[in-house]
Chain A
C-alpha cells in the first residue's frame, strides 16, 4: 500500500517555496490541541510578599521573613510579560548535508523550516523575535522586534541563509551575551558539531545569565547510522580535510561512538538547565517538537497557576 502523503514530511515541507506558508502549515499542525502558547518563557519575576493562607504550598513560604518577623509570608511571582526570543540557526558548512534517507533535505533546510515555524509561533504570541545565523561569525543578526513585519523580515533572512565555515559556539555565546541586555529565550538550532566541552561551556554561560535556552539538535540520519561501504575517501564538509577509511569496518564502531557522543552532549546540556531535543532530517519535526513544546507549555501553565493565586 502506498504511503499516505504527509504534508508535514520534511521533504514535503521543503518543497514549499514560500517560507511563511511553510511556517504556517507547520505551525498549524504543530499547535493543534495546544491551548497555550508553547513558547512562553518559564522564567518568573518576584512581585511581593503576602500573608500565608492555609493551603499555600510550604515551599513558597519565605522563611527568612518568618525568622525576622515571626510571621509567615509567602512569595508572589509574576511571569514575564514580554518574551524576547532569539532564533540562532547554525549556518556552518556541515549543515549543508543531505543523506539519502533525508531525501534531499539538508540540515539547513530542515533547520530553516524549524526556525520559521518557531518564528511564526513567537510572532503569533506577540513576543519579540530575533534571528542570528551563526557559523564562524554571527550573520545575519536581526535584533528582537515584534509584529508581522518582523516575521516577514526573519523569514526572508532565513530564506537567504547560506552555509559555510565551521561553528564557533564560544563566539556565538559571547556575541549573543553582548547584544542582549534582558533575559530572553534562546533557541539554538544546530547540528552541534564541535568540541562538546566548548559547546557545553558556551551554552551554559548563556544559561547562567538567566537566559532560557532551547537546543534543537538537527542531525542527518547518516550522522547517527552511516551507511559506509567499501573503501572511501571521506571529506569533511567544514574544513574539507580528507580521510581514507574502510567503510564497513568504520560503520559499526562509528554508530556506537556517535550514540555515546550525542548522549554526552544531551547530558551536558541538560545538566546546565538547557532544554534539548534531537531531530533527524528524515522525520517531521512536528511530532517531537509538539511533544516537547507541550511539556514546556505544561510547565509554563504550572508556574502561571502559582502566579495567579496571589
Chain B
C-alpha cells in the first residue's frame, strides 16, 4: 500500500504543469521577425513538422514528469507490503498469544514481550479510524479491546500479561473471523504467536488475510533436541535420571531445577545422561540451557516440567505371605523407602482381604503421602492372561475409569505430549510406570508366575495406583506395545489432574466450583481464596501445581498441569510453519522481529532515480542534433 510521510506536499503537484504553462506562454510571446522569403522556411518546417511536434510533446511530458516526480519524492512515498496495513482495512483483529509457551525467554527476551512490542508497533502503524479488535488468547480468546481506535487498543495492550494457559488457536481464529464477518469482509487478522506445536496439527482455514508474526526465536543453531526423564516415577529424594539429546555445534549446557543450577556439562554432542535429586514433591521445572560457544548463536532453552511424587512406600519382595510379613514388620518399612528405582514388589493375594491392622498400616503410609508400586512380569504384557481373581476384580470394580484389558487401541491418537510426555517415551524402553484410574484404589496381587504383585485399595488420601514394569514390553503383543504408552500417558495425566477429565485442569483454564463445594481454595503458592456467597464460582487456575479445595464435602485436590504443547518450550523449526496451511501468510520463517519483516519500501528513492533518468532523457532530446 502506498503511503506518504508528508502528504500535504502533494498539494504542490500542480507545479508539475508549469512546463505546460511556460510552453503556452512562450508560444504567445514569440519574437516576431521579418524574413525575405519563407519559401525555404516553409519547406523545411513541413519536412520536420511531425518530428518537431513529437519532440515538443515528449519534452513537455518529460519536464512535467520530472517536476511531478520531484514533488512526489518530496512527499516521501513508501510502499508497505499489502496486508501490513492491509490497504487501510476497516477492521483489524489483532490476536496476541498469551499462552504459557510465550513466557519462554530467548536471547534474554521473553517471547511474549517481543510479541507485545511488535504488536504495539503494528498498532501504531494503523491509521486512525481503523476498527481494532485486540484479542489475547490462550486456551480461549479473551477480547481486550473491541472496535477500538488503534490508540485505544494500544493502551489496552499494556495491561495484557502472559498466562499459563494452552494455545487454542482455532477458537481465536474463529472469533477473529466472526469479527471480520461483521465488518463486511474488509479486514484482516494479525497473529502474534510462537505457534506452538499443539496448534499446527491440522491446516487452518481462515477466510481473511492473516498475518503471522512468529514470536519465537530464530532457527536453532544446534542445541537440545530432547530432554527426558529416565525414571518412570520422579520421586522426592530419589535421583531423577535425565537424558538429553543434543545436536549441533559444541555448546555449554547448564542444567537447573527450580532456578538452581544442578549440573554443568560442557561441549557434548549426542545423547547424554544427567541426574538431579528433587528434594520436594510437587511441580518442578527442569531447565536445560544450551549456551552457544560462538558469538552468533542464541541460548537454547529446554524445559521439562515434572511432577515429583512423594516418596513411595516400598514393600520388600517375597512370597504371598510377605505382605503380611511386611505389614507386620511395619516399623521397619521406613528404612526401605529410599530408592524408587530399586523398588521391589509386594505380593498380596487379593482374595485374602487385608486385616484391619494391615489396612490401617497401609493407610497410614498413604496418608503420609506415599505411593505403592507393582511389578508385572513381561511375558504377560497387558493381556495379563495369568491374572486370576485380581484381574476380574479390576474389571468388576473399575467401571467408571480405565480398566486394564479394556484400553481401546489408538484411543489416544495424538503424539504424547505434556510435561511428562518425553519422560514417558524415554521410559518405555527401560521401565514403564502406569497409573490406572479406578473408582477405588486397589492393591492387586498376582500369583501365577510366582512373582509377587501388589494390589492396593484406596483408603483415604492415596490417589495413585502405579504399575511399575521392570522389563520391556517387547515380549508382549503388539497391541500391548501400542496401547500401553497411551494408557500410561493418560494415567499420568490423571496423576497430575487427579480427576477423570484431565484436560479440565490445565493451567489457565477456569475451574467451575459448584455451589455445593464452596469453601476455601488454596493455590500452590499458598494464596487462599474464600468461596462464599452464591455459587457456582469460576476460578482461573493461573498457577501450576496442586490446588486444594476445602469444603464441607471434604478436601479435593487439583493438580494443575501445564497445558499440552506448552510445557515443552521447544522452539518451532521454520519448516513447521508450513503446516499452517495456505491461507496464512508467514512473513518470516526466521523468527525475525516483525518490524524487520516486510518493512516499508522507500519509493521516493526510486522517484529520485527516475528524475535523474528523465533529466538525462530531457537533455538528450533537447539537444539540437535531434532536431
Contact = CB atoms under 8 A, between A and B. Distances in A.
A235 B44 contact: no
A97 B31 contact: no
Interface in B1-49: 26-27, 29-45, 47-48
B30 A243 contact: no
Contacts of A228: 33
Contacts of B40: 254, 257-258, 261
Q: Which of B40, B48, B55: most chain A CB closer than 10 A? A: B40
Given A231-B27, A233-B30, A246-B52, A253 B37 contact: no
Interface string A218-245: 0010110010101111111110011111
Given A232-B30, A257-B40, A258-B40, A249 B35 contact: no
Contacts of A238: 36-37
A233 B32 contact: yes
Contacts of A65: none
Interface residues of A, number: 36
Interface in B172-221: none
Nearest to A195: B39
B627 interface: yes
Contacts of A107: 36
Contacts of A250: 41, 44-45, 48
B400 interface: no
B624 interface: yes
Contact of A191 (B36, B38, B47, B48): B36
Q: Which of B26, B37, B55: most chain A CB closer than 10 A? A: B37
Contacts of B48: 249-250, 253
Contact of A233 (B33, B42, B47, B52): B33
Nearest to A254: B44
A244 B53 CA distance: 12
A150 B48 CA distance: 51
A254 B34 contact: no
Contacts of A243: 38, 41-42, 45
A193 B35 contact: no
Interface string B410-442: 000000000000000000000000000000000
A308 interface: no
A236 B35 contact: yes
A235 B627 contact: no
A94 interface: yes
Interface of A is mostly: mixed
B433 to A, nearest CB: 99
B51 to A, nearest CB: 9
Nearest to B37: A193
Contacts of A258: 40
A237 B43 CA distance: 17
A153 interface: no
A94 B36 contact: yes
A236 B37 contact: yes
B38 A249 contact: no
Contact of A236 (B31, B38, B44, B47): B38
Contacts of B26: 231
Nearest to B56: A246
Nearest to A229: B31
Contact of B624 (A249, A257, A261): A249
B488 to A, nearest CB: 95
A257 B37 contact: no
Contacts of A254: 40-41, 44
Contacts of B44: 250, 253-254, 257
Interface string B609-627: 0000000000000001001
A224 to B, nearest CB: 10
A245 B41 contact: yes
B120 to A, nearest CB: 60
A233 B31 contact: yes
A248 interface: yes
Given A231-B31, A232-B33, A253-B47, 10 more contacts: A222-B35, A230-B31, A231-B26, A234-B34, A237-B36, A241-B38, A246-B52, A246-B627, A250-B44, A254-B44
Interface of A: 94-95, 97, 107, 191, 193-194, 220, 222-223, 226, 228, 230-238, 241-246, 248-250, 252-254, 257-258, 261
* 3 closest Cβ pairs, A-B complex: A94-B36, A249-B627, A193-B37
28 contacts: A97-B35, A191-B36, A193-B36, A193-B37, A193-B39, A220-B36, A222-B35, A226-B35, A232-B30, A232-B33, A233-B33, A234-B33, A234-B35, A235-B35, A235-B38, A236-B37, A237-B35, A242-B32, A243-B38, A243-B45, A244-B27, A245-B45, A246-B627, A249-B52, A249-B55, A250-B45, A253-B47, A253-B48
